[in-house]
Amino acid sequence: MVDTAARKAGETAVAVAPSGGSPQSTGGGIRRWLSLAVRVVVFGAIAAGMVWSVVSQWPQVRSTWLGLAWESVALSVLAALLGMVANTMAWRAAVDDLEHKLPVTAALRICLVGQLGKYIPGSVWAYVLQIELGKRAGLPRARAFLATLVTVGLGVTTALGLGLLSLPSLREAAANADSSYADSVRVALWIVAVLFPIALICAIPRVLTALVQVALKVLRRPRLEHRLTWPGVLRVMGWSALGYGLFGVHLWLLANAQAAPGVGGLLRCVGSFAIAMTVGMFAFLSPSGLGVREAVLVAALAPFLVHDGGVGAAMGIALASRLIFTIADVIAAGLAALSSVRQLRGSTPEVATADVG
């Protein structure tokens, strides 16, 4: 209430100010230019990271890519896109359980455009961008931050649970001293062993609510009026499980174009992709976990490709998966941004001004 009154008072002051301009209006103009400059730099860095991600992988991907059927590639892109939508719905479910409502279209714009920040080295940029986009959609920064925190935490819990499906192949890879990716797989297994029990405890609504209240206290924001609920937590984890399942299908479709991994291979693809994305989050200096994710995927895929290219083919598929995810990110963000432009064009001038401001 106070913030709204202050904002309206500021708008009134600007409306009655002399046409020659005031220090406040000058300062506002400088802030707008600085904001624009920051956005240009951020999106320039995102574009550079995405281009580097594609160019650096292309020599290794090319041979595997040319051997894939276009049907497999198209379905793989579709599965990745649907997985991103499921993850968005998980975030929206967290926002809902944190006492804030968001339309599906707004959540899609926030998450699908915001996730491009992962192409900047440092794992936090995607979350920072999502928080800023959420603010522009009327979601308080504190709620957006907490929704992201809850979604990431519950998503990690879900991913680690699904990762149990791929433990046999990962343990075999970690035990292979001659493997070039054995060390990365061992690190992944240690992360699973340490984090999974902690994540399960933190996923209990009572414990999760206490953690959220501590975060709100640190941020100096009002406490939640009620506890997070089991239905809310289960909705977030359910959507996260669906997202990881679709990402596993995406990988399995690529592997199926080279060999025939079957149902067992599908389960391992789901589990390994869940672990790979979770471990990639801890590679802070790598854009979108580049390198770490591939090591886990190669370890999971190699047993199915012994007679079809072995480790080399597995690496090609893992890198092709990375490239397809980059393509899917661009498509998803483009569609989300396009829907935003259409919404602004279809709204009244007053509504459009409020939305942009």
pLDDT one-digit tens code per residue, 292-325: 777 788 878 877 776 666 677 788 888 889 889 9
CA 212, distance to chain mean position in Å, is 20
Contact 151, 90 (CB under 8 A): yes
Which long-range contacts (C-beta less than 8 Å, at least 24 apart) are formed by 259-265? 259/304, 259/305, 259/307, 259/308, 261/304, 265/304
Asked, for residue 54, whether it belongs to a domain, the answer is no
Asked, for residue 67, whether it belongs to a domain, the answer is no
Asked, for residue 56, whether it belongs to a domain, the answer is no
Sequence-distant (6+) residues with CB within 8 A of 70 are: none
Between 56 and 169, the more confident residue is 169
**Cα torsion through 285, 291, 294, 295, rounded to 10:** -110
45-49, 80-84, 124-128, 301-305 — which one is most confidently predicted on average? 80-84
Furthest-apart CA pair in the chain: how many Å?
Answer: 79
Contact 309, 316 (CB under 8 A): yes
Q: What total of structural domains would you count in the chain?
A: 1
Residue 65's pLDDT band (cuts 50, 70, 90): confident
Alpha-carbon distance 102 to 123, whole Å?
Answer: 25
Nearest Cα residue to 150 out of 78, 194, 213: 213
For residue 345, pLDDT beyond 70: no
For residue 50, pLDDT beyond 60: no
CA 102, distance to chain mean position in Å, is 18
Asked, for residue 50, whether it belongs to a domain, the answer is no
For residue 150, pLDDT beyond 80: yes
Asked, for residue 6, whether it belongs to a domain, the answer is no
**Residue numbers of the domain that contains 143:** 79-356
The mean predicted confidence, pLDDT, of the chain is 78
**How many other β-carbons are positioned within 10 Å of the β-carbon of residue 176?**
13
For residue 48, pLDDT beyond 70: no
- DSSP, collapsed to helix, strand or coil, labels residue 159 as helix
User: pTM above the 0.85 mark?
Assistant: no
DSSP string for 276-307: HHHHHTT-TTSGGGTTHHHHHHHHHHGGGGTT
Q: What is residue 49's predicted lDDT score, i.e. its pLDDT?
A: 57
Residue 60's pLDDT band (cuts 50, 70, 90): low
Asked, for residue 41, whether it belongs to a domain, the answer is no
% of the chain surpassing 70 pLDDT = 71
Q: What is residue 22's predicted lDDT score, i.e. its pLDDT?
A: 52
Asked, for residue 136, whether it belongs to a domain, the answer is yes
Asked, for residue 182, whether it belongs to a domain, the answer is yes
Tokens representing residue 199 in the block: 């994540």
Between 35 and 233, the more confident residue is 233
Q: What is residue 325's predicted lDDT score, i.e. its pLDDT?
A: 92
